[in-house]
Every structure is written in C-alpha cells, then in structure tokens.
Amino acid sequence: MTTAAHSLLPRTVLGGALNVPVIGLGCMGMAEFYGAPDEAESIRTIHGALERGMNFLDTADMYGAGLSEEIVGKGLRGGRRERVVLATKCGLIRTPDGVRLDGSPRHIRQAVEASLRRLGTDHIDLYYLHRVDPAVPVEESVAAMAELVEAGKVRHLGLSEAGSASIRKAHAVHPITAVQTEYSLASRTPERSVLPTVRELGIGFVAWGPFSRGLLSGTIRPGADLAPDDMRRGLPRFQGDNLRRNAALVARIEELAAEEGCSLAQLALAWLVAQGVVPIPGAQTVTHMAENAAAGGVSLTPNALRRLDELVPSGAFSGDRFPPHLLAMVEED
C-alpha cells in the first residue's frame, strides 16, 4: 500500500480499522444488469483502478451468479492481490424466479468457500451480509461470519442494507467495520437513522449506487435506449413521469457541476466524500473509472454544498429505488 500509484487517491479508514481510498470501485456491472459484460475491458478497468490507487474493490457472490467474483479474481492475478482491499458479500441467492435470502450459518460457511475459490484468494478483507434475513436472527448470521474471522478466511465484517436495530445487534456480537447502503443525492434515506447510528458506533459507511444507476452520471435521460435486459427498465425511478421529473433535477445539478469545473459524476462523488462516506461507483470501462478516480481531487466549497441541498433536498427525486418485491428485502430505518 505504499507505491506511488496508491498515493494518487486520498485515503480514509473504515470503522477505525480498514484503510481504503476515498473512492472505491464497484464491480457488479462487470457481470450483468447493464448490458452484455466485456471481461477484457473489465480487467483493464481493474488494472487501471489499481494504478490510480482505487484499490477498494467491491463485488458479491450473486452478481452474475458468481461471474463478477470470477472477473475480479482474474483481474487480481499476477501479484495484484496484495495491493487490493477486497470486499464481497453473501446471503442473497439467485433463483430461477429472482432472488431469495439465506443468512443461515450453514449457507454462510458454504458461501465463503465458493467466493474464495472464484476470487482466487485465501482471504477476504471485508465480508458483508448482503441482506439481513428475517428468518434468521442477525446475531446468528454475524456469529457465523465471526467464525470466519477466527479462521483467517475473513479480516473484517460488514452489513449491506441493514437498518439501525440490526446494526446494533450485529455490532454487539462482533465489531462491524462497514455498513453498505445505497446513498446519493437521489437516495438520501440513510440520513434518517442509519448514518447517525454508524457514526455513533464508529462504523464506516460505504455508499453504493452513488450515481443512482446512471441518473447522476448523465448516462440515463428520458428516451434512453436501454438494453432489453437492463434492470433499470423495471425500477420506478426510471419510468414515465418519474424519469422526466428526475432528469429536470439532474439538469440543475449539472449546471452547478459546470460552475465547479467538474463533471456531473464527479460532483455526485465529491458530495458523498464530503459527507464522510466512501462511494463505490461502478465502472465497466477504463474511461468511466478514470473519470470517477479524478473526483478524488474535487473539493466542494461550503457554498456549493449548501446550494446542492437547496437544489435537491432529501426526498426531491421521484420513484422508489427498487420495485416492491426487492424493496421488501432492505431495511431502511
């Protein structure tokens, strides 16, 4: 972690324990959801990220039914593994009909072995419970994950899309290093209770979806030609009047970004960094990754932050971030 490349992005510490760059790399889209994957370009993107010090890589076993982990594993060959803070997740399982939850100790023990194999490593730096399973007390899930820490297979534990009560219960069983939840200028629900809770407990916060799936990077606008398998076709935020209203808000943010001398995407990331959280924007190309990494050099003035709150206060964007059946799987308070 001392090479010149790693000094390019400023760094921070999650949960008082895990040293990471202020902006990480989300690897979900390398496998599916936003069009056909391009493994070669994804690997080039990973290599380029490491050159810029963006060495906090985030994946999960359910992304592409393991494909994302496999791509990340290939990207880390050739001695690159020791340069990376590697995060993955368990507990959200693909089925022919969609997804289901399984936070049982038995599943967690099986899942970590499969993830280690696909990633080509003997340990995971940050292992998340992807969703809290209401059928299994979160204390039982975390106790099983703690066993993996004792065995040396996992270094730190995290929770994804967990509410305040679950965070407190989990943290009482084993220190939670990070909580990961969707958070952006368009999705500010964590500000209600999750962010205050993790700050009180000294837990780090990782923001996935910092661009609200393309809204805040300018890639999704009314009339956008989405691929038939693009998951955004089924998300309320991207449909009809919701998308038109949201696009109008994005246009106002884009004007402010121009005044600040950065891109819309960079403004969205800089805003999150200013909140004291670590965004993990997805990138499937070297070009997009490089733009995201450059946001580490963008420092928003107090006036710019104030204007953003005035332009798009909490709740300004229209439409839920998930359809009802997926929204039911997340804990927001």
Q: How many domains does the chain have?
A: 1
The one catalytic residue among 63, 127, 128, 183: 63
- Per the annotation, the verdict on 63 as an active-site residue is yes
Q: What's the pLDDT at 139?
A: 98
Confirm whether 199 is domain-assigned. Answer: yes
DSSP conformational letter for 282: B
Confirm whether 253 is domain-assigned. Answer: no
| CA atoms of 329 and 326, how far apart (whole Å) | 5
Q: What's the pLDDT at 86?
A: 98
**For the residues of 83-94, what is the DSSP string, one character each?**
G-EEEEEESEEE
Q: Answer for the pair 300, 271: CB distance below 8 angstroms, yes or no.
A: yes
| CA atoms of 221 and 249, how far apart (whole Å) | 11
Strands 124-129 and 85-90: parallel
Confirm whether 89 is domain-assigned. Answer: yes
- pLDDT per residue as tens digits for the range 4-63: 333 489 999 999 999 999 999 999 999 977 667 899 999 999 999 999 999 999 999 999
Confirm whether 241 is domain-assigned. Answer: no
Over the chain (333 residues), the average pLDDT of each successive run of 10 is: 52 97 96 82 97 97 95 97 97 89 98 98 98 98 98 98 98 98 96 98 97 87 68 82 92 94 96 98 94 95 94 92 88 91
Confirm whether 187 is domain-assigned. Answer: yes
DSSP conformational letter for 229: T
Confirm whether 285 is domain-assigned. Answer: yes
Q: What is the CATH number of the domain that holds 158?
A: 3.20.20.100
Confirm whether 118 is domain-assigned. Answer: yes
Other CB atoms within 10 Å distance of the CB of residue 127:
25
Which domain range does residue 54 map to? 5-211+275-297
Q: What's the pLDDT at 218?
A: 80
Confirm whether 313 is domain-assigned. Answer: no
